Chains A and B, each alone.
Chain A
Amino acid sequence: GDSVTQMEGPVTLSEEAFLTINCTYTATGYPSLFWYVQYPGEGLQLLLKATKADDKGSNKGFEATYRKETTSFHLEKGSVQVSDSAVYFCALSDGNTGNQFYFGTGTSLTVIP
């Protein structure tokens, strides 16, 4: 079945450091891939998405490239800020299984000044 494996956290970085959160997936079809962010006490916000192989999603300085050959969708940011502290979820949706999302376990990021 479909699944997402995400880098374990928590991750603690200094401000302006480079961020990578690894995400790999298993899917039976041709999934769309997503990164969501959750701030304390809030729901999920869509950060970026990619719907086909080699697509790059980007938003607010974050980027992720859909790599079909390695079944990966790693999240990167060149210079993190304190305001980026949150939990990040990698997710996929496979049209073969309807519109549901399969989420990774989430990676908690703390950025210290």
Chain B
Amino acid sequence: KAGVTQTPRYLIKTRGQQVTLSCSPISGHRSVSWYQQTPGQGLQFLFEYFSETQRNKGNFPGRFSGRQFSNSRSEMNVSTLELGDSALYLCASSPSGSVGGYTFGSGTRLTVV
């Protein structure tokens, strides 16, 4: 059974640009969550989607947005990139969003220069 797939694995962008990251959940999983991991702030929750609806949102500025498609694939977008957005972005999927059932992907490493 395929795991959670995140693309791309690595990305380098320039300040002020925007970026879109993709997450393909495990087949049958309807809940997708996103986390940002940085050395300074650790792992922080961005948002959770379930059946194309955002169910929960962390404390991030509006430059961070996401969406989920009917096939449960999810994308997150960061506009007007700042140096501080450099991080590992992790996606996790679950059949129904029940805690404990989340499987994480390997992440997308974003570097903003």
Contact = CB atoms under 8 A, between A and B. Distances in A.
Interface residues of B, number: 24
Interface string B57-100: 01000000000000000000000000000000010101001111
B107 A100 contact: no
Interface in B4-35: 4, 31, 33, 35
A99 B94 contact: yes
Contact of B33 (A32, A46, A99, A106): A99
B43 A98 contact: no
B99 A32 contact: yes
B42 A103 contact: yes
A106 to B, nearest CB: 7
Contacts of B104: 36, 43-45
Contact of B107 (A32, A43, A49, A91): A43
23 contacts: A34-B100, A41-B106, A42-B106, A42-B107, A43-B4, A43-B90, A43-B105, A43-B106, A43-B107, A44-B90, A44-B92, A93-B99, A93-B100, A95-B99, A98-B56, A99-B48, A99-B56, A99-B98, A100-B48, A101-B102, A102-B45, A104-B42, A106-B43
A106 B99 contact: no
Interface string A14-43: 000000000000000000101010000111
Contact of B45 (A41, A89, A100): A100
A99 B97 contact: yes
A106 B35 CA distance: 15
B26 to A, nearest CB: 13
A81 interface: no
A101 B45 contact: yes
